[in-house]
A and B are shown apart, each in its own frame.
Chain A
């Protein structure tokens, strides 16, 4: 009884590994590259013949001419090769310190372009790490907060920048699912392309 069960189990393991470990992912991969090649390979974005990133991964923007991402807990920041949470609990003093530091940095950067800006104008997503560390989106509120700076640095009319924000806002899927957000990489690429014209 025991030997037979062991033999049957080993046969089953081999068969299951072949079907679910190899055949299933292989068939799905074949289907994916035929039907949805762009998505299947990581939604990569090319510009000038080079891969500049993925629309599904944030990247580090520090220059004032760019819209900035949410904070990231990965090493280095915005690393789609090793995602992580910050894992700071709701009463952790480190969380308070991080939020405070980030808010101060935003005030310092944006206040020259937004006179009278106070901490109460900063949306919460701007001072908190994202779940993945590579959240490609910022809230509409955070994008609008940055619009005056980007417009001023790039010598663009504010209306042109706000138009680009609207164009690069991802609404709820089918108008129902999820929350709206602004894809920062796509927005910054659109800004760069505007400059080329």
Chain B
């Protein structure tokens, strides 16, 4: 007697990339902590750990706001990418920015043109105009961050990398405009 049974091809459950992303994000957070510690000016009255911790918290808050905004933009074009899944990706994508900040802090050790090319004009001198302030970080490492962010977001939203690049670049440009206009309008109203 021959018995037959139906064999179903059950797909192997795919491992979620989320834990890996969070682990990477935590590691990048650690890198940021060291970069911010090394680049805070010495001789301040406040404890040495305060500046990097404040910087790290600010970085986290900005990334969370960026994730919420990007999530809303993805939803607006009919794709699903929740802010919780975008947040670790944005933190991971900030790695080139940490390198840029570190380069600027140690600019004396590197050729001038290399620092400006990689980290943008912020390596040269403090900005004196709104336009200069807004685009002070426009260098190769910022471009790398945008491309990396677009790549990671496109995978999270299951969309093309070009769409992601349009969203990421659009958000970057809008924040530059806000920085430019705000700087110009507030200039002189602070005690810089």
A, B: real partners: no
Chain B positions near chain A (C-beta within 8 angstroms): none
User: Which A residues are closer than 8 A to B by beta carbons?
Assistant: none
